Structure 1
Amino acid sequence: MQLLVVCLGNICRSPMAEGALRRRLERAGLAHVRVDSAGTGDWHVGEPPDRRAIATAARHGVDISGLRARQLQAADYRRFDWLLCADLQNLRDVQARQPPDAGARIDLYTRWSGDAMAGGDGAIPDPYTGGEEHFEHVWSVVDAAAAAAVRRLRAAGTSSGRD
């Protein structure tokens, strides 16, 4: 099973989601599930996550400082089982770029995980222009989605990756 979390620039939401999901998977004995993140845009390629994202994750015991932003590539549609998008615009962008030979399925991360806490359209809000409280809110959303993802993967047995 291979999961790719996708947001806009790959410096806030998706690296925080990647960190939360990795920690939850490891604690659940599901560390064999591969998790990565990417952005639809190329503005931050090669950069570490936003300092506020790093600080927020660190307050929750997760180190994402070693991650580096990368842009979604055509090969990702073949390499990963699921491309899990942060919001509806990312979902539309990822769907629009989907190559004809894509094997990955695409969904909103919170909807795919079955996170009952996600409200409204299931979007993970973009904290980039906000303050610390916005990053904390995003952490609560991505961590709840990570917990829900673990429940989903356990229920599915994670064998096929295409449930």
Structure 2
Amino acid sequence: MRKIKVLFVCMGNICRSPTAEGVFNTLLMTRRLTDAFEVDSAGTHAYHVGDAPDLRSQKAARGRGVELKHLKARKVTQNDFEVFDYVLAMDEENQAILSENCPDKFQHKVRLFLEYAPHLKQREVPDPYYGGAYGFERVLDMVEAASEGFIEALQREGIIS
């Protein structure tokens, strides 16, 4: 069975996208869907390549049973657009950067992650980097909701059972 490949993307790949990767992987484990997916995260900028996620992201995630310390930041590559089935941006700015760099034949893969959590009535996962602990908790809330919504959408579409 071919794995469904999902890439979460923010700007520096140290807060929002690794949080999404960790939360989504944890959800896959609880639902026993790990074997059906390949999950990664990346940034549109190379500010933090090789760095672990922000310590505040790690702490907030750990409080919910999600471990991020093993992740390392990387920058999105051209190959990512071909390899991944879903390239999910955390905000419109990063979605625009992705769309600008994505070949036309793969544009359908680039989406906003919060499209899968319409009940939140927000389009973007806000960057918590310059704020306090509340921002990291809010990111977790949003990412958890979108992760659940993404799985449900894939089930509705018959991509997974």
TM-score (norm 2): 0.91
Q: CA deviation at 1:30?
A: 1.6
Structure 1 residue 103: deviation in Å? 7.2
Structure 1 residue 82: Cα displacement: 1.0
Q: Say which SS state the counterpart of residue 5 (structure 1) adopts.
A: strand
Q: State TM-score, norm by structure 1.
A: 0.90
Q: Matches of 1:100 and 1:17 in 2, distance apart?
A: 26
Cα distance in 2 between the residues matched to 1:28 and 1:145 = 15
Gaps spanning 5+ residues in structure 1: where?
A: none
Question: What root-mean-square deviation, in Å, do the aligned CA atoms of Structure 1 and Structure 2 show?
Answer: 1.5
Show the counterpart of 1:143: 144
Task: Note the 1:46-125 alignment, pairs <5 A.
Answer: 46-100=50-104, 102=106, 105-111=109-115, 113=116, 115-120=117-122, 122-125=123-126
* Cα pair 1:24 1:150 within 8 Å, conserved: no
Shift of 1:101: 5.5
> d(CA) in 2 for partners of 1:105 and 1:118?
22
- The share of aligned pairs that are identical, in percent, is 35
Whole-Å separation in 2 of the counterparts to 1:116 and 1:27:
23
Aligned length: 156
Cα distance in 2 for residues equivalent to 1:44 and 1:110: 24
SS in 2 for 1:75: helix
Please, which runs of 5 or more residues in structure 2 have no aligned partner?
A: none
Measured after TM superposition, the shift of residue 99 of structure 1 is 2.8
Deviation beyond 4 Å, 4+ runs, structure 1 = none
More helix by share: 2
Looking at structure 2, the residues matched to 73 and 57 of structure 1 have their Cα atoms a distance apart, in angstroms, of 26
**Does the alignment pair 1:131 with 2:135?**
no
User: C-alpha offsets along residues 110-152 of structure 1, whole Å, 9 cap, x if unaligned?
Assistant: 11x2x133323x1000000001011001110001111111211
1:28-43 equivalences under 5 Å are: 28-31=31-34, 32-43=36-47
SS of the residue corresponding to residue 25 of structure 1 reads helix
* C-alpha separation in 1, matches of 2:108 and 2:41: 14
Deviates more, 1:102-111 or 1:71-80: 102-111
